[in-house]
Amino acid sequence: MSPNYGDVIVVGSGLSALLTAKYLSKHMNVMVFTKSNKYENNSFLAQGGVASAIADTDTWQEHFHDTVLAGCNHNELNSVELLTKLGPGMLQELMEAGMDFDKDEQGILSLGMEGAHSQRRILHAGGDQTGKRMMQWLHSQISHCVQVVEQETVIKVLTEDDRCCGIKTVNRLGERKSYYASHIVFATGGAGALYSYTSNDPSVNGMALALAYQAGAILTDLEFMQFHPTMLHVNNKVVGLVSEAVRGEGAYLVNDHGKRIMQGIHPLEDLAPRDIVSRAIFQELDRGGKVYLNIENVINFEERFPTISYMCTNQGIPMKNNLLPVVPGAHFFMGGIKTDLNGETSLKGLYAVGEAACNGVHGANRLASNSLLEAIVFSKKLAEHLLNKPMGNCREKLNDPLTKAKSDKPFLPLPAKSELQAMMMKHAGIVRHAEGLQKLKGWLEAYQPYWQEIDRLEVDLSLEETELIFMLQISHLIASAALEREESRGAHCRSDFPQASEAWLQKRIVHQEKIKLLV
């Protein structure tokens, strides 16, 4: 087999990518591509665990109900049913295969509590190191049978006859290569790094979504970016996540006068859905105040949360004061590449899974710890689907005749990435309004010639410039969607349309690149 050809190409190196690769590798030749190294991704950073109705006292119906309530009825109900119903069994299979989750002294699984859950149903591994432990275990499972290509960034989705059949990559030395496969899976994560305050790895910047869009795949729900309420905030920078599990163990939010800020805002107070907690913090900060997470009630904090304790000590936060300074940061993208329940996108041969995909499971606001479960359930679904699909007829010598008309608009110098991130934070952040979104959209449109002519420009661009152009394009789509949705629902909050509107209930905004012209 040629080194540039596989049965399946998986782009991304997080949990969804590795699980898909693990499930497929027994029967197919799988290549995994990551633009950084295999330990730099959001899954590796995930402190929070896996939500699943695994306890005898719990039911999948209750988990279903909590998911839809947090998602503000924007969820695709079939997706939620699959997630909550199949989750416990698939999790059990992983445990039987050797993945260890935390147990109490009697050997019974320890189940944690997080925001908007009606039951304790969160499994953790190593306290707050769930993502890291799962990733390490998965690498040990696949290292002998899956080729992982590091430091190669996908810069184009290759298509032929309206079918996706490969990817073009560039490495750190600027060398370009093309790879082909019957099935191309995008497990590339979301877009949190478009914002200046984020819990995401810098590589998770939405570029892959723009690539899929340019190739013709439909994107949807782009107006829904979840902000995690508690990012540790030191010297005007966010330095890491303080897991919601800390509030699950009794921590609460106070302002700089020591007043609890969630009292009277929601019956679940500090464990209200994330969008509500983030907005309450945002309002305090907007008034010029500060917000702290008071951890005085958390028993054995350092033992239970070793990663967070280490981070605080490292950042010079005195733990004896029990007050951790926090701000909200972009955390999870509910939108993404539109897929069905099997991960099929609107472009033949291209599939998406995990945060990169949008099958509607999270609605307008993801329920805490549902994303690792999403990875487990939908990676397996996708793998089973691919194993039953005929192989595409991919040829290595693709010609790429699809080019676009040359723009006569002048090219402004590209902005700094930090400028884009600050603009997104300010105008497409926790609370939006038409004026700010229009300003953002107009600012982004000035760079439109770059993404419209990326094919022609590409050879002369550095990798950083190429990434930035795709970040500008996906930001433009996010701003357009946020402007179009004239209501507030879940993570999308418009100060000029503060209520949820019946007219928008279960309506999704979809985006598809114009049909390309053959020249």
Closer by beta carbon to ligand SIN, 188 or else 466: 188
User: Is 368 a residue that touches ligand SIN (CB under 6 A)?
Assistant: yes
For this structure, is 274 an active site residue? yes
Q: Are 212 and 351 in contact (CB under 8 A)?
A: no
Which letter does DSSP use for residue 253 in this model? E
The minimum distance between CB 47 and ligand SIN, in angstroms, equals: 4
Here the contacts of 56-60 (C-beta below 8 Å, separation 24 or greater) are 57/119, 58/119, 58/121, 60/84, 60/85, 60/87, 60/88
| Per-residue contact flags (x/-) with ligand SIN for residues 370 to 389, judged by CB under 6 A | -x------------------
Q: Are 227 and 275 in contact (CB under 8 A)?
A: yes
User: Is 48 a residue that touches ligand SIN (CB under 6 A)?
Assistant: yes
Q: Is residue 289 helix, strand or coil?
A: coil
Strands of 204-251, DSSP E: 219-220, 225-234, 237-241
The minimum distance between CB 229 and ligand SIN, in angstroms, equals: 9
The minimum distance between CB 36 and ligand SIN, in angstroms, equals: 21
Strands of 19-134, DSSP E: 30-33, 50-51, 111-112, 122-123
Closer by beta carbon to ligand SIN, 16 or else 159: 16
User: Is 369 a residue that touches ligand SIN (CB under 6 A)?
Assistant: yes
Closer by beta carbon to ligand SIN, 245 or else 341: 245
The pair phi, psi for residue 64, each rounded to 5°, is -55, -50
Catalytic residue among 133, 274, 366, 494: 274
The minimum distance between CB 247 and ligand SIN, in angstroms, equals: 8
User: Among 297, 324, 295, which Cα is nearest to 312's?
Assistant: 324
The minimum distance between CB 51 and ligand SIN, in angstroms, equals: 8
Any residues with CB less than 8 A from the CB of 194 and at least 6 apart, and which?
Answer: 205, 206, 330, 420, 421, 424, 471, 474, 475, 478
Closer by beta carbon to ligand SIN, 247 or else 441: 247
Strand partners, 154: 169
Query: What is the number of residues in the chain?
Result: 519
The minimum distance between CB 124 and ligand SIN, in angstroms, equals: 9
The pair phi, psi for residue 159, each rounded to 5°, is -130, 150
Tokens 């939010």 found at: 253
Closer by beta carbon to ligand SIN, 135 or else 347: 135
Q: Choose the stretch contacting ligand SIN; rule: CB under 6 A; options: 72-80, 239-247, 386-394, 484-492.
A: 239-247
| Per-residue contact flags (x/-) with ligand SIN for residues 332 to 361, judged by CB under 6 A | x-----------------------------
Closer by beta carbon to ligand SIN, 331 or else 492: 331
Judged on CB neighbours under 10 Å (0-12, 13-18, 19+), 65 is middle
Select from 245, 334, 357, 361 the one that contacts ligand SIN (CB under 6 A): 245
Closer by beta carbon to ligand SIN, 131 or else 349: 131
Cα-trace Rg, the chain: 22
The minimum distance between CB 228 and ligand SIN, in angstroms, equals: 6
Residues 95-134 that bind ligand SIN (CB under 6 A): none
Which letter does DSSP use for residue 176 in this model? E
Judged on CB neighbours under 10 Å (0-12, 13-18, 19+), 35 is buried
Select from 13, 41, 43, 47 the one that contacts ligand SIN (CB under 6 A): 47
Closer by beta carbon to ligand SIN, 196 or else 369: 369
Q: Choose the stretch contacting ligand SIN; rule: CB under 6 A; options: 368-376, 420-428, 434-442, 462-470.
A: 368-376
Q: Are 123 and 52 in contact (CB under 8 A)?
A: yes
User: Is 244 a residue that touches ligand SIN (CB under 6 A)?
Assistant: yes
- Give the residue nearest to ligand SIN (CB): 48
List of residues contacting ligand SIN (CB under 6 A)? 47-48, 243-245, 331-332, 368-369, 371
User: Which of the residues are catalytic?
Assistant: 274
